[in-house]
Structure 1
Amino acid sequence: MRPGNRNKIPRYCCEEYHDVKWHKATNGYSQENFIANFQFGKVYRGIFKGEEVIVKKYEEDNGVLPGDNHSRVVDEFRFLEQYVTEDPHPNIAKAVGCSAEGTMAIVHELKALDTLHNLLVNDGLSWPQRIKVALGIASALQFMHCVQAPFTAPYLVRNICAAHIMLDEDYSPVLYDFSMISGGILTDKRDLVNQYVIGNHGYVDPVSARTGTWSEKCDVFSFGVLLLELISGKVYTEEDHNCGTPFIYEWAWSEYKQQKRKWGNPKFTLVNKIFESDKLFYSRDGRELTKLAMKCVEYDPLKRPTMKQIVRYLLNLQIVPNHRNYLGIERELYAHQANPPRKILPGFAKLMLKRSDFQHMCSYLSRKYRLLHSPKGFRAQIRGKSLKRCPRHFSQFIRGKQSLLNKQRSRNFSKAEEYNMIQAFSYEKLSMLTNGWDYQFGKMFRGELDGKFVTVKTWDIPPKVRVRQFETETRLRDEIVLLHQYPKFKSHPNLVKLIGYCHEGERLGVVYDLNPVDTVYNLLPKDSFTWLLRIKVALGFAFLLEFLHSSDPTRLPFLVRNIDAAHIMVDQNGLPKLLDFGMFTGGILPDRRYYRHQFLHYLPFGYMDWSNYTDGTGLGAVESDVFGYGIVLFCLITKYFYMDKRYDGKSLHISDWVEREYKAKSLSTGSSRSKCSFVHPSLEVERGFCGCDGLELTKLATQCVDLDPSVRPTVRQVIKQLCKLHVVRNYADELGINEMLL
């Protein structure tokens, strides 16, 4: 195994090769094999294993930050492996290899004719070929936008343009660039700010460019621009952009307004006169395509059609019935586009579908297609009582909330330009910030940047710990996404603020705008960590968990999964700050609850919710976060370090420890279980302490760590109990309750 193996593509993502392979396949990336530019590099023809391929070579320019292209290669390959390689769509390029070291590249199996952009510039497509392109791309986008399951975000391409579509020898269109892909098994990037939008001039939805948020309707807008180019013969080039020429959609709306004023717009069309002489051209098709394109480039995203409606619209063109084979209709429309098989559930988890899920899936299929091509033995039609039983609440919820969601997004995210771009630091610079890694606590370092105290965190995986390839890089990328690009996290008072990061090969780190006192774990035995400060930490962290578990009802809740006193920092104002996101899942992140072994490697035995492992699944849930919170609460009130690092057959689990303590308290005081307090004697004499608070906190912590998850309180119930404490009512201002409730 050669050095740097942790940067390799995971084995399940096709094959990784050294970049020398692609250099040889393209004859040294020769100019003769050059096809075109794409958003982040160049595309070349090549020969690999005797087959024609295209090699997409990434380049580090145009303001690309360190590690960004690496992340794009990983995301693109994960998408292609999970949903294309095993179950290919004819209009999505099949990947056969890549390189993630040295020159980054992705290789697709494709006999390329040229990019759509080049063919449009050279006027090299007939009218039927243009219809074929529109149908093929619409079919591919419909396939990607299909929601796989409740709470799963649709795949968004986000950089659709003619240069990112390759035509093969049969003039069939193939999407080959997914470097901006979002959703599905990848991070949901719809609401992230500061995303790379350079390039693709004239294709980007102006609403998205202004607000910094994305949706399926952004892909629809780009498709509308593409359709305008196909029917009008106009192409927007780099020269047009440099000269300030209006975009295609701006020209289209100008033409529409002029013709409407002049003729009343009875038969408005933007079809180039040259195409009207084609024997397969129908004037009605020209008008319908113009109408469709104008709907797609509507400024208001809510007025744009869905890709499903667009495909149906295109299939109703007059040219389609008599030329289905030539247009590739049979080849490009599949029933399984509605619900491609999910391959992310391992083993028996595939059997965990509820009956309602199956009914919803079948109902979705029956509503989506009038004619289904189904495997033998499967009855596709769903009628009558069966259809009535199929739940429709998901789609109704989405439709009913769409307007509200968009209004809220425009309020919250309309000023994306206010967010400063993240800084990229070298590893040497990180060392200088911290005086050569002095003042270390754990894997955290105190430092100073531009006269301001900061905290530096580095990832240094011990050799004995086995991690998935790309796992550490993924953790870094998750932190950047959550703390720098996700607006809800940027403004939360109990989450650290990210200043910058380092990505130099395997040297990874982040810089937080945080002047810490210390971690909760280190502060536990200290007298300076007063009773009021402990209550403030307990309250603040409970409010943070409540925010994570309920911040967005349309997505799965964020789960921390590795709550630990060592992962909570206390700042100079006594506020708790969560600074470890290595086990985060849910929300805008992919659902990683099924990575059982990943969970076991990183969670101390004492903090482990054993109920997750009794059935062998290792799934995390909100109840597991409550369990971890209960242990932290015990630590705060007892000054006890409960940190058994691994299960060795002798270590006490928290449930056993609680029982032992109850027995000891009962024997020493003669009190019943309900009258036992675990509060450390030194804390009972401090300002703000009340004996009844000690009893209530002990009872609350015990409920949180109950072995039966069903009897644990929710975080909201935890907060209600905390707010009833005498210390909270009497010292509300000092504890900052009003700020927490905002």
Structure 2
Amino acid sequence: MESSNLVVFTTEDLKSLTESFHEKNLIGNTQFGKLYRGWIKAEGRDVTVKIWDEKSNSITLISDEYLVVKGEVQFLTHPAMNGHPNLVKVIGVCCDKEVRGVVYDLNPRDTLHNLILKDELNWIQRVDIILQLACLLKYLHTQDNPYMVLNICGAHIMLDWDCNPKLCDFGLISGGTIGKINTIKKQIPMPIDYADPFCATKDGYRETGCDVFSFGVVLLGLISKRVFDAEKLDKPGYILDNLVHCWAKKEYRPNCSLVHKSLIEDWGYNPEDGATITEIGIRCTEFFPRNRPTMKGVVEHLQSLLVLQRLGDTRPNKREKKFHADYENGHVKL
């Protein structure tokens, strides 16, 4: 692996951390496996355990699961990424024949997928989550060799107890130190609902615009309190009728808001903000990538929201600013 500081866990270690992957500790499913709450008893430390499931439809296309683990660790431990406030911090790996997994230094509140429909997240928290995600993608896309995540979705974003988003799955990532996307990854579909439909018309197309589209779906889901339910896929017509971006395109009218009525009643909500953030989501999910904004443009538009200006929070959060400053000054270390 890329860092000698990583702890090497065994299958039995991961079972011990998660009470044998007990259902009560299951946070949710990812495209390639599962997320569990874990506990390192000796350190009194809450962690997240992610395992790759060999039965996953996506993982069956990959001949060597070890390469998936290696790619994720390579990305997360690189000095330009290690310590970023919106990326999970990996503390150990397991590459046994029985289990492939990683352990993150994170006590999660839940996944964004599980929280979108709930009243636990108010308007200001949802806007802050959107801004932080936008800043992360802007950072990834503006590297000398841009990264493409390519499987951004609510299930791959965990929130800490301060509601800061943490991206936690990188099974399709390419660019940067990972290199160009390979043929195998091009064959693996992006998560349903968050997948760029333009990709279906252009075989092999994978650009940063795919991430912009997925981000737009996250945004629209957060403000409208809508999420795709994969368990209902067997129902006729369910997919088209319930894809968040398809619903949004049907409902959208210029200068209108798709913000859920319960959020409109929240403190800090402003009708002008509702219309602005709705338009950002609609533009991000345009069919043709050339019509979508860059993530840099998205961040600039989000920072113009009245609620952020009134709170004096029109720039990335302090931790992200500190991370950027430390990295530029050579102070970020593995």
TM-score range, shorter chain: 0.7 to 0.9
Find the partner of 1:715 among 295, 298, 303. Answer: 295
Find the partner of 2:9 among 408, 417, 425. Answer: 425
Are 1:531 and 2:123 an aligned pair?
Answer: yes
Are 1:494 and 2:86 an aligned pair?
Answer: yes
Aligned twin of 2:219:
633
1:448 positional shift: 1.4
Aligned twin of 1:444:
35
Q: Which blocks of at least 5 consecutive residues in structure 2 are unaligned?
A: 29-33, 323-334
Distance of 2:141 and 2:265 partners within structure 1: 35
AA aligned to 2:7 is Q
Q: Is contact 2:62-2:184 (8 Å) kept? A: no
AA aligned to 1:623 is G
1:732 positional shift: 3.3
Find the partner of 1:478 among 64, 67, 71. Answer: 71
Distance of 2:56 and 2:230 partners within structure 1: 21
Distance of 1:430 and 1:618 partners within structure 2: 37
Q: SS of 2:95's equivalent?
A: strand
1:649 positional shift: 7.7
Are 1:660 and 2:250 an aligned pair?
Answer: yes
Aligned twin of 1:611:
198
1:543 positional shift: 0.7
Q: Which residues of 2 match residues 239-258 of structure 1 at below 5 A? A: none
Q: Which residues of 2 match residues 3-14 of structure 1 at below 5 A? A: none
Q: Is contact 1:536-1:735 (8 Å) kept? A: no
Distance 1:641 1:452, change over 3 A: same
1:618 positional shift: 2.7
Q: Which blocks of at least 5 consecutive residues in structure 1 are unaligned?
A: 1-67, 69-191, 195-420, 663-672
Q: SS of 2:73's equivalent?
A: helix
Are 1:578 and 2:164 an aligned pair?
Answer: no
1:740 positional shift: 3.7
Q: Is contact 2:221-2:244 (8 Å) kept? A: no
Distance of 1:520 and 1:441 partners within structure 2: 11
Distance 1:463 1:709, change over 3 A: closer
Distance of 1:629 and 1:647 partners within structure 2: 26
Distance 1:193 1:510, change over 3 A: closer
Runs of 4+ in 1 over 6 A off after TM superposition: 645-649
Q: Is contact 2:35-2:50 (8 Å) kept? A: yes
Q: Which residues of 2 match residues 49-448 of structure 1 at below 5 A? A: 194=4, 421-438=5-22, 439-442=25-28, 443-448=34-39
Distance of 1:464 and 1:482 partners within structure 2: 23
Aligned twin of 1:322:
none
AA aligned to 1:591 is K
Are 1:703 and 2:283 an aligned pair?
Answer: yes
1:647 positional shift: 10
Find the partner of 2:107 among 515, 523, 527. Answer: 515
Q: Is contact 1:539-1:719 (8 Å) kept? A: yes
Q: What do residues 167-189 of structure 1 show as CA deviations (whole Å, max 9, x unaligned)?
A: xxxxxxxxxxxxxxxxxxxxxxx
1:593 positional shift: 5.3
Aligned twin of 1:109:
none
Q: SS of 1:674's equivalent?
A: coil
Q: Which residues of 2 match residues 658-697 of structure 1 at below 5 A? A: 658-662=248-252, 673-697=253-277
Distance of 2:234 and 2:139 partners within structure 1: 32
Distance of 1:694 and 1:598 partners within structure 2: 37
Are 1:569 and 2:146 an aligned pair?
Answer: no
Aligned twin of 1:155:
none
1:613 positional shift: 2.3
Aligned twin of 2:326:
none
Distance of 1:648 and 1:710 partners within structure 2: 34
Distance of 2:38 and 2:62 partners within structure 1: 30
Distance of 1:425 and 1:713 partners within structure 2: 42
Find the partner of 2:48 among 455, 462, 477. Answer: 455
Distance 1:589 1:722, change over 3 A: same
Q: SS of 1:631's equivalent?
A: helix
Q: Is contact 1:633-1:701 (8 Å) kept? A: yes
1:642 positional shift: 2.9
Amino-acid identity (%): 35
Distance 1:548 1:434, change over 3 A: same
Aligned twin of 1:320:
none
AA aligned to 1:658 is A
1:495 positional shift: 0.6
Q: Is contact 1:594-1:619 (8 Å) kept? A: no
Q: Is contact 2:39-2:47 (8 Å) kept? A: yes
Aligned twin of 2:328:
none
1:473 positional shift: 1.3
Q: SS of 1:532's equivalent?
A: helix
Are 1:503 and 2:128 an aligned pair?
Answer: no
Are 1:544 and 2:131 an aligned pair?
Answer: no
AA aligned to 1:590 is G
AA aligned to 2:36 is F
Distance of 2:205 and 2:213 partners within structure 1: 14
Q: What do residues 323-372 of structure 1 show as CA deviations (whole Å, max 9, x unaligned)?
A: xxxxxxxxxxxxxxxxxxxxxxxxxxxxxxxxxxxxxxxxxxxxxxxxxx
AA aligned to 1:566 is A
Distance 1:503 1:596, change over 3 A: closer
Count of aligned pairs = 308
1:503 positional shift: 1.1
Distance of 2:3 and 2:292 partners within structure 1: 37
1:659 positional shift: 2.8
AA aligned to 2:140 is L
Q: SS of 1:444's equivalent?
A: strand
Aligned twin of 2:187:
598
Are 1:467 and 2:67 an aligned pair?
Answer: no
Distance of 1:463 and 1:736 partners within structure 2: 36
